[in-house]
Amino acid sequence: MRVGVDLGGTKIELLALDNAGREVWRKRIATPQGDYAATLAAVASLVHEAEAALGERATVGVGIPGALSRVTGLVKNSNSVCLIGKPLKQDLEAALGREVRLANDANCFALSEATDGAGRGARVVFGVILGTGVGGGIVVDGKVLVGPNSIAGEWGHNPLPLPRESDLPLPSCYCGRAGCIETYLSGPGLAADYQRGSGEQLDAPEIAARAARGDARCEAALARYEERLARALASVINLLDPDAIVLGGGMSNIERLYVNVARLWTSYVFSDQVATRLLRNVHGDASGVRGAAWLWDAAR
């Protein structure tokens, strides 16, 4: 049995999969806020509860907002600040009495969709999270690509390629730079772009809904969004040439992206035809926790 844990900033979710990949147990609890020891204890007790309920010992994979430094073994790049600098892998292994696999949550998303989701059967999958932030992960031949800096696929803080008049001034980003992809392509990024043009505050789902009803300003903002996403993904295709790009996060629910962005990116990809498929995720919010479980796939 495989257990996946999605350790998020607001909730911790556990999913148990049987050997055929079917969901057999699931539970979600609130994340203890700002308390590392309580977070460890909560994860351990969830795993023990699942094992008691199912009468079986499980492999444990954990998706985290952030990454494990390959230099120090400590958590870095996390927006759950109580995890930063902590030996989370060792501490979880001590609490659970077994080896635990940890991965970045966007990598878990990519792995889930590559294993039995939208990217099933594709050799190289780029999984993209377009949510409150922008992240990404790369899966090759069913394995997550982890580089020496543990940042493979993290394109959200690359600059938006080919900035044009309508992209200026470059929005400043929390990472200290300006004009990052995330500042345009996250949900709040679309909302901020709309507000710059209209002075009006609307969230991303409302902008998409009004665009669908024919609102001209919302339509223009969404068209700018699609054009930027096309530029940003074209640079990924030029570098990685993935078979499939799978979108996740709240923005992935906007149906028109899949047609429009795949039409627009042909202008920027260095190829006469673009065979890369742009796909909507299959597992939705469950992809993080499913991918964490798949970290222990027997074939790996």
Query: Rule CB under 5 A: which residues touch Zn ion?
Result: 157, 173, 175, 177, 180
Helices (H), 70-185: 88-96, 105-116, 181-185
Closer CB to Zn ion, 157 or 210, in the complex:
157
Omega prior to 65 cis, within 30 of 0? no
| Least gap, CB of 157 to Zn ion (angstroms) | 4
Q: Are strands 59-64 and 100-104 parallel, antiparallel or unpaired?
A: parallel
- Cβ neighbours, 10 Å, residue 137: 30
Closer CB to Zn ion, 134 or 211, in the complex:
134
CB 95 within 8 A of CB 44: yes
Max intra-chain CA distance, the chain: 61
| Least gap, CB of 150 to Zn ion (angstroms) | 17
| Least gap, CB of 76 to Zn ion (angstroms) | 15
User: Which residue is listed with tokens 């919302």?
Assistant: 218
| Least gap, CB of 269 to Zn ion (angstroms) | 24
What is d(CA 188, CA 40) in angstroms, rounded to the nearest whole number?
A: 31
Structural tokens at position 158: 């690359």
- Residues with Cβ within 8 Å of 267's Cβ and at least 6 positions away in sequence, in order, are 230, 234
What is d(CA 108, CA 102) in angstroms, rounded to the nearest whole number?
A: 9
| Least gap, CB of 185 to Zn ion (angstroms) | 11
| Least gap, CB of 176 to Zn ion (angstroms) | 7
| Least gap, CB of 198 to Zn ion (angstroms) | 24
Closer CB to Zn ion, 158 or 195, in the complex:
158
What is d(CA 251, CA 206) in angstroms, rounded to the nearest whole number?
A: 11
Q: CA-CA-CA-CA torsion for 234, 64, 283, 27, nearest 10 degrees?
A: -170
Closer CB to Zn ion, 8 or 189, in the complex:
189
Closer CB to Zn ion, 175 or 259, in the complex:
175
What is d(CA 121, CA 110) in angstroms, rounded to the nearest whole number?
A: 13
Beta-bridge mates of residue 63: 6, 103
Closer CB to Zn ion, 157 or 231, in the complex:
157
Closer CB to Zn ion, 173 or 212, in the complex:
173
Closer CB to Zn ion, 160 or 269, in the complex:
160
What is d(CA 40, CA 90) in angstroms, rounded to the nearest whole number?
A: 11
What is d(CA 156, CA 120) in angstroms, rounded to the nearest whole number?
A: 24
| Least gap, CB of 81 to Zn ion (angstroms) | 17
